[in-house]
Structure formats: structure tokens, C-alpha cells
Amino acid sequence: MRATALAGGTGAAKFLRGLASCTNPRDLTVIGNTADDADIWGLHVSPDLDTLTYALTGRLDLRRGWGLAEESFNALAAMAALGGEAWFRLGDRDLATHIYRTRALRAGRRLSEVTEAIGRALGLGVSLLPMSDDPVRTRIQTPDGWLAFQHYFVRDGARPPVIGIEYAGAGTAAPAPGVLDAIRTADVVIVCPSNPITSIGPILSVPGIREALHETTAVVLAISPIVGGAPVSGPAGDLMRACGLPVTAAGVARAYAPWLDLLVIDRQDSTERHAVLEFGAEPVLAETLLTDHDREVALARRVLEVLA
Ligand code: FO1
């Protein structure tokens, strides 16, 4: 069964670790969000692509959910001592990835080529594609003006009230090579348990991707990142509210209507089943809290069982 996943960072990485351990990784294509990408110290940082790559090659710091395990932060401390920018915590070994990527991009290579090269070098079994080679950037509107996503999320701790969201550059972006084909030719498309607004929303904003989801003959299944009326982690609640969506599993179904076939919701949200159905998706109950590897594998097995 050929599967294509739409993925953000940490939540997606956990689910995909489970999926990759019970399917052939070569049958799995992952389309990663790049709208969180940021320029830090003149380096091109792609947090979600790196989180996915590190997670699926056993390198991720599982406690933080980003960066490398057993990392040190000496360069960051030295930067702070100089009075330089130190709010975004780049680890010493992680820096090599950003330097490698930045040099390759400056030499004229595309983000998709560089992502492939990094994956190959680190032994990544799945095919990881950025959603686009063109810059698309999530920007958050607050009462004090617009903020780049990492300024809102990391520097300001997701505290500013959210008035609006935009995906700057989306209008003129093209899907990266292979993205549309991966959606059109898959047997199943899985929307990972990621933030619908800042992880999946930017992927959907790239021209052609929504159309491919409409047209594909694949079964399209999503896993709700909202459990018990609250996001599993992060600011998805504030962002969904700002987009006029209820912070519920049904709100997720609404964000992905009308191309979604199945929505996996947590057992504690079973009362949402009818509301999910009203948005055209069939609800599937499962344990969706991925607090350890056994649960990651159990959720992947449940998804495969439903799809079979
Ligand atoms: N998230 C944080 O909350 N604080 C950080 O200092 C931070 C640094 C960082 C460095 C590299 C990287 O790949 C990711 C990093 N993240 C950090 C995570 C990341 O910014 C967000 O989790 C994602 O953008 C949301 O998907």
C-alpha cells in the first residue's frame, strides 16, 4: 500500500515513527510543511523537515520534540555572550544541518534536492518532500502587528493574542517536484495529527495541492490533533479560533472538508462522531495520545487496520 502523508513537526513525527515501524518505509512519501522555516544567524532553518528527518532516523530529542538527542548548545551560549540573538536554540550538531542546507541553497540547489541529500546522508528510509521549493511563510497578526511564525511561537512563547494568519508567498508558490504525483497516485493519503492552521494549512495553501486531494482516488484519512476539546500541544486552539473554527474534532473535520474521507478521533471525543459526519468525514475512534513508542505503533496499526 503506497501512502502519502501531510506532516508538520513533532506530532506528525511521532505518528510517522509508528507508521514507519509497521510498513515498508519505501512505500511512504511524506510532504513536510516549510512555512515555519526561518532565517536564524543567516542560516536557513527548516524545523519541520528536520524534526521529521531526525525522528525517522532515531536522532530526535524526544523530550523536547525538536533538535538532536544528546545535543550541546555551546555555540548558542557563545552567541548570547556576544549579545547576539539567542532566543532560537540552535544546537551545536544541529548547526551542521543548517549550514549544509544554506550553502547548498546558495549554490543554487532546490530545497527538495537538499532535503533529499540530507535524508540520504542520514539514512532516512522514507521519501521526504518539502511542500514547495518556493518560500511560503506563516505570519501571525497580533494587536501589535504581524509576526513571523517563529517570533510568535518561540520568541514570544505563543502568548500574543492572534487576530489573523496568512501564508505569505503561497499565491505564487509551486508544489515541489513529486508532491502532486505523490497525492494523486497514493493508495492512501494520511493527514498527520498536526496543527491544522500552521502545519497542514500552509501545505493546503500551495496552489494545486487542494485540487490533487479532491481528485485523488486515494482514501484520505486525517488524525485529529484535538483531544478532549484541546490541542495535544502548542497553540492550535488559539489559531483555530482565530480562523473561526471550533477547537474540537469536528473543527478539524470542517478544516479538511470536503476532501476528507475518514477522521480518526480520540475515544474521549466519541460524542463528536455525529458532528464529524456532518462535515462529510466518517469518524474512527482510536487512542490518539502518543505518549510513548508503543502508543505510536498502536495508532499506526489501528489506522492500517481501518484502511485495510
Ligand atoms: N522550539 C522551541 O520552542 N524553542 C526553540 O528554541 C526551538 C529551536 C529549534 C531549533 C531547530 C529546530 O529544527 C526546531 C526548533 N524548535 C524550537 C522547534 C520549532 O521551532 C517548532 O516546534 C516548529 O516550528 C513547530 O512545528
DSSP string, 116-148: HHHHHHHT--SEEEESBSS--EEEEEETTEEEE
Band (29; pLDDT cuts 50, 70, 90): very high
Q: With 90 as the cut, is the pLDDT of residue 230 above it?
A: no
Pick the residue with more confidence: 24 or 236?
24
Q: With 90 as the cut, is the pLDDT of residue 232 above it?
A: no
Band (25; pLDDT cuts 50, 70, 90): very high
3-state secondary structure 260-285: CCEEEEEHHHHHHHHHHHHCCCEEEE
Q: Give pLDDT, residue 53.
A: 98
154 Cβ closer than 6 Å to some ligand 1 atom: yes
DSSP H helices, 142-292, are: 149-150, 179-184, 201-205, 209-215, 236-242, 249-256, 273-278
Q: With 90 as the cut, is the pLDDT of residue 234 above it?
A: no
Q: With 90 as the cut, is the pLDDT of residue 243 above it?
A: yes
How many residues does this entry show for the chain?
A: 308
Query: Which has the closest alpha carbon to 217: 241, 183, 170?
Result: 183
Q: Give pLDDT, residue 168.
A: 98
- Given a contact cutoff of 8 angstroms between Cβ atoms, the answer to whether 22 and 294 are in contact is no
The protein residue whose alpha carbon is closest to atom 20 in ligand 1 is 47
235 Cβ closer than 6 Å to some ligand 1 atom: no
Q: Summarize pLDDT for 112-169 with one digit per residue, the tens.
A: 999 999 999 999 999 999 999 999 999 999 999 999 999 999 999 999 999 999 999 9
56-73: average pLDDT: 97
What's the gap in Å between 183 CA and the centre of ligand 1? 27
Q: With 90 as the cut, is the pLDDT of residue 235 above it?
A: no
Q: Summarize pLDDT for 247-266 with one digit per residue, the tens.
A: 999 999 999 998 999 999 99
Q: Which three cell numbers stand for residue 194?
A: 498536526
Q: Which three cell numbers stand for residue 186?
A: 497514493
The protein residue whose alpha carbon is closest to atom 23 in ligand 1 is 47
Q: Summarize pLDDT for 274-298 with one digit per residue, the tens.
A: 999 999 999 999 999 999 999 999 9
Query: Which has the closest alpha carbon to 128: 141, 138, 114, 149?
Result: 114
Q: Summarize pLDDT for 78-105 with one digit per residue, the tens.
A: 999 999 999 999 999 999 999 999 999 9
Q: With 90 as the cut, is the pLDDT of residue 236 above it?
A: no
- Given a contact cutoff of 8 angstroms between Cβ atoms, the answer to whether 209 and 130 are in contact is no
238 Cβ closer than 6 Å to some ligand 1 atom: no
Q: With 90 as the cut, is the pLDDT of residue 61 above it?
A: yes
39-51: average pLDDT: 98
- Given a contact cutoff of 8 angstroms between Cβ atoms, the answer to whether 279 and 254 are in contact is yes
Q: Give pLDDT, residue 233.
A: 81
Q: Give pLDDT, residue 144.
A: 96
Angstrom CA distances, 190 to 73, 92, 103, 122, stand at 35, 33, 33, 24
Looking at the whole model, is its pTM more than 0.85? yes
User: To the nearest whole number, what is the mean pLDDT of the chain?
Assistant: 96
Q: Give pLDDT, residue 124.
A: 98
- Given a contact cutoff of 8 angstroms between Cβ atoms, the answer to whether 22 and 297 are in contact is yes
What's the gap in Å between 40 CA and the centre of ligand 1? 11
Query: Which has the closest alpha carbon to 195: 4, 21, 26, 35?
Result: 35
Q: Give pLDDT, residue 57.
A: 98
- What is d(CA 35, CA 47) in angstroms, rounded to the nearest whole number? 9
- Given a contact cutoff of 8 angstroms between Cβ atoms, the answer to whether 101 and 44 are in contact is yes
What's the gap in Å between 291 CA and the centre of ligand 1? 19
User: Hey, what amino acid is at 271?
Assistant: T
User: Which CATH architecture group holds 3-133+177-307?
Assistant: 3-Layer(aba) Sandwich (3.40)
Angstrom CA distances, 140 to 46, 227, 286, stand at 18, 24, 32
Band (34; pLDDT cuts 50, 70, 90): very high
Radius of gyration from C-alpha coordinates of the chain: 18
8 Cβ closer than 6 Å to some ligand 1 atom: yes
- What is d(CA 308, CA 296) in angstroms, rounded to the nearest whole number? 18
Q: With 90 as the cut, is the pLDDT of residue 46 above it?
A: yes
- Given a contact cutoff of 8 angstroms between Cβ atoms, the answer to whether 20 and 12 are in contact is no
Q: What is the DSSP letter of 207?
A: T
